[in-house]
Structures are given as C-alpha cells and as structure tokens.
C-alpha cells in the first residue's frame, strides 16, 4: 500500500494495526478449552497464563516509561518492532505449551511486547488526530477490544483444526500491524523524540490534580475490565449448560460479548464530543458497576436474560477506557506524554493481576459471586472522578 494512501487515512491505519497487534493478548485464552484437553492445563493454570501477559505488559510499560523510550524513540518504530517480536514469541508458545514454566515465560514476553503496541498506539492517535482525541481514542480502544476478542473468533473459525492454528494466525496479524505502522510513521502534532529522559518522568504527571483524577478513574476501570474478560468464557459456558446447548458455541458467544465493546467505544467517543469525556466515562463506569452488583443476584433467571446482560456488560465495561485516556492525554505534560501514558497503563494493569487471580481462582467455589470482587473498582473510580464533576459544575456557575 503506498505511503501517501496510508497518511490520508491515518486513524484507520492505526486502529486496524491496533486490532491486529492486540490479537496476541488473549491468543491463548481463545484456545483455553483445547489446551486443557491437549496438555492438561487447569482453570487456575489458564489464569496464571493470563496474569503472565499482564505482568509482562506492566514490566514493559514501566521499562519504556522509566527509561524515556516512549519519548526518545519514534512511536511508529517502537510499535513496529514490538509487534514483530510479539508475533515471534506468540508463535513460539506452541512449542513450549506442555511446560507450564516455559509457557508462562512465553506469555510474559508477549505481554512485554504488547507494552510497545497499546500505549504507543494511543500516542500515535494523538499525534495524527489531536482535535478529536476522545472520539479517535474510542476507535483505538474499540479495536483493542476487538483484538482481545479475536482469538475466540479465530478459534471459532478453526474449531475442527488443531489448537495451534489460531495462535499462528494471531502472529501473522501482528506482523501485518508492524508493516502498516512502520509505513505510516508518526504524526506532526507532537514534539519530536526527546533527547534525554529522567527515570520515572511519567510520575511527574500525577502532580497535576486533573491528570491524577483521570488516572484514578482509569485504575478503577482496570480492576474490573480484564478480570471480566477473563471470566467471559466461564460465564458463557454456564449459560450454555443451562440451555443444554452445544459447547461449540462458547467461542462464538465469547467473541461476540467482548467484541461488543467496539461499538460501545465508538458510540462513547461520538457522545464525548457533545457531553465531554468525563461525563461519558462516569456513565459507562456506573453501568458496568451496577452489573457487578446485580448479576450474581440473578443467577437463577433465564439464561437468555443473563446472556443479554453479558452483552450489555461487554458494551459498557470498555466504553469508558478511551475517555479516561483522552482526559489523561489532555492533562499530561505534552513533552512527556508517552511516559505519562505508559506509567498510567503500568499502574492500571498492575491492578488487573490481583483481580484476575481472585476471580479465576475462586470461580470453581464461588461461581457468580466472584463478580462482587470486581465491584470496588467502579465504585472507587467514580469517587475519584468527582473532581471532574465539581470542575464542570464550577464552570457552569461562572457562566
């Protein structure tokens, strides 16, 4: 594809690359049931593999934030290199899947590479489309959601083929993402690469009250988000069993529920242009928090109703993410935007580890009640976002 064509539609290129690159994230979860049969992994083992990706992502974001790599190397180059390495390591998982120790290392390194894809994708969006970052980031996070759902789709499409196929396909998609972003390059609306960076430069952004409020809201969102995504296959399987339906539908329904986050993010982005990112983020966080509370209380109602609530949850659980990122991007020091976003991601994703560990380890004993462990995230996130409500109220009074 000619470079001139790519630069005429930069947002489309970035979000497609984000979709392809983040297909590595839950690539193993998409074949989780097959892995349980093929190599004897337990539900707890699958939870550990998910946590290993998160731990790698956190380590990677801390690395690029504290070393200044996020602002010293052009985002497009770091994104492309990370996508290539992630593709190779994800494919290498196939050869070590029967050894839990090596499998954990492979997933950790995959997460390390993802740290050069997701935060740098946000920076690329801001560099190309600064005038409507909230709506643009809505597309970006929507594609992240679709990327995370895509392993379930790949498994559904290859259901009668060996479990290795979806992993190979995910790696091929990541390689395409690398080529697209390398050819696109960086936008012109951010400063060039910084000549030097102080360790922990990203933490300086937390001195600003508005950035801190956005980041704390994001942290509450993170506590809920990935743990919910990790639980989706279990929640879907429960309702399929109650319907006496084929287990083969689990992959397709899991994909659909997570993928509904894409329209959720896009619609939230459009709404943010009228209502503001803070209002949209709080509304979505309140809806998903309410589902954390009421869903376990409805465990005996119609499976179709619960699947419908899962669809609503799939829409709302991610719709606020881009708006938190837009608020953070607008309030962080622009000369250290990459480091600030990477640091925010590192802390937020650090919170996903205990929440994923809790729900995956307690699922067999607590079933739907494990969803109550997710509730503190939305509650504390809404409390943190009070600053933006107060700021908005003060602005209206001045008018």
Quickly state the pLDDT bin for 4 (edges 50, 70, 90). Answer: low
pLDDT per residue over 27-77, tens digit each? Answer: 777 777 677 777 777 777 777 888 888 889 888 877 876 776 666 777 788
How deeply is 274 buried, as exposed, middle or buried, from its count of CB atoms within 10 A (0-12, 13-18, 19+)? exposed
Give the whole-angstrom CA distance, residue 266 versus residue 255: 18
Quickly state the pLDDT bin for 135 (edges 50, 70, 90). Answer: low
How many residues belong to the chain? 399
Residue 105 has pLDDT above 70, yes or no: yes
360: its two tokens: 């995956």
Give the whole-angstrom CA distance, residue 354 versus residue 20: 27
Q: Where are the domains of the chain?
A: 3-185+203-393
> Is 228:148 a contact under the CB 8 Å cutoff?
no
Higher pLDDT among residues 206 and 306, named by residue? 306
Residue 339 has pLDDT above 90, yes or no: no
Q: Distances in Å between the alpha carbon of 172 and those of 57, 82, 168, 175?
A: 20, 14, 6, 5
DSSP per-residue string spanning 287-343: HHHHHHHHGGGGTTS-HHHHHHHHHHHHHHHHHTHHHHHHHHHHHS-GGGHHHHHHH
Please give the pLDDT value at position 397: 47
> Is 296:369 a contact under the CB 8 Å cutoff?
yes
CATH superfamily name and code, 3-185+203-393: MFS general substrate transporter like domains (1.20.1250.20)
Give the whole-angstrom CA distance, residue 137 versus residue 314: 18
Please report how many Cα atoms fall inside a 13 Å half-sphere around the Cα of residue 348, on the Cβ side: 27
How deeply is 91 buried, as exposed, middle or buried, from its count of CB atoms within 10 A (0-12, 13-18, 19+)? buried
Q: Distances in Å between the alpha carbon of 325 and those of 2, 57, 151, 207?
A: 31, 17, 25, 17
Residue 88 has pLDDT above 90, yes or no: yes
336: its two tokens: 């250290």
The whole-chain average pLDDT of the chain stands at 79
pLDDT per residue over 281-301, tens digit each? Answer: 888 999 999 999 999 999 888
- SS3 at position 156: helix
Please give the pLDDT value at position 396: 40
Quickly state the pLDDT bin for 272 (edges 50, 70, 90). Answer: confident
Q: Is the dihedral of CA 61, 67, 71, 75 positive or negative?
A: negative
Average pLDDT over residues 97-123: 86
Please give the pLDDT value at position 399: 46
pLDDT per residue over 209-258, tens digit each? Answer: 777 788 888 899 999 998 998 888 889 888 888 888 776 677 788 888 88
Residue 110 has pLDDT above 90, yes or no: yes
pLDDT per residue over 7-18, tens digit each? Answer: 666 777 888 888
């Amino acid at each position: 594809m000619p470079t001139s064509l790519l630069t005429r539609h930069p947002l489309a290129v970035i979000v497609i690359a984000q979709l392809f690159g983040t297909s590595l994230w839950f690539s193993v979860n998409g074949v989780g049931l097959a892995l349980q049969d093929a190599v004897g992994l337990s539900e707890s083992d699958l939870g550990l593999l998910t946590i290993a990706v998160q731990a790698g992502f956190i380590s990677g974001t801390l690395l690029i934030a504290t070393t200044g790599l996020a602002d010293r190397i052009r985002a497009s180059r770091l994104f492309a290199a990370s996508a290539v390495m992630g593709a190779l390591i994800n494919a290498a998982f196939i050869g070590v899947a029967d050894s839990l120790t090596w499998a954990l290392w492979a997933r950790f390194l995959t997460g390390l590479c993802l740290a050069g894809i997701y935060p740098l994708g946000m920076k690329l969006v801001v560099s190309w489309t600064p005038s409507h970052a909230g709506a643009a980031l809505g597309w970006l996070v929507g594609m992240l959601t679709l990327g995370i759902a895509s392993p379930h789709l790949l498994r559904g499409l290859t259901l009668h083929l060996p479990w290795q196929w979806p992993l190979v396909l995910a790696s091929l998609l990541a390689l395409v993402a690398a080529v697209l972003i390398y050819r696109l390059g960086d936008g012109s609306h951010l400063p060039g690469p910084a000549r030097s960076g102080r360790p922990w430069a990203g933490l300086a952004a937390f001195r600003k009250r508005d950035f801190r409020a956005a980041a704390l809201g994001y942290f509450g969102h993170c506590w809920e988000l990935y743990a919910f995504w990790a639980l989706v296959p279990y929640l879907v399987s429960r309702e399929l069993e109650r319907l006496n339906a084929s287990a083969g539908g689990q992959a397709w329904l899991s994909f659909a529920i997570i993928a509904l986050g894409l329209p959720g993010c896009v619609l939230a982005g459009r709404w943010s242009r009228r209502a503001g990112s803070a209002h949209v983020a709080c509304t979505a966080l309140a809806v998903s928090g309410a589902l954390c509370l009421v869903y376990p209380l409805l465990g005996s109602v119609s499976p179709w109703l619960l699947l419908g609530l899962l669809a609503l949850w799939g829409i709302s659980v991610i719709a606020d993410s881009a708006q938190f990122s837009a608020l953070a991007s607008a309030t962080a020091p622009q000369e250290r935007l990459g480091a600030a976003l990477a640091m925010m991601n590192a802390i937020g994703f650090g919170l996903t580890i205990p929440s994923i560990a809790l729900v995956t380890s307690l699922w067999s004993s607590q079933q739907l009640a494990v969803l109550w462990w997710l509730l503190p995230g939305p509650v504390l996130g809404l409390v943190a976002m009070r600053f933006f409500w107060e700021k908005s109220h003060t602005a209206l009074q001045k008018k």
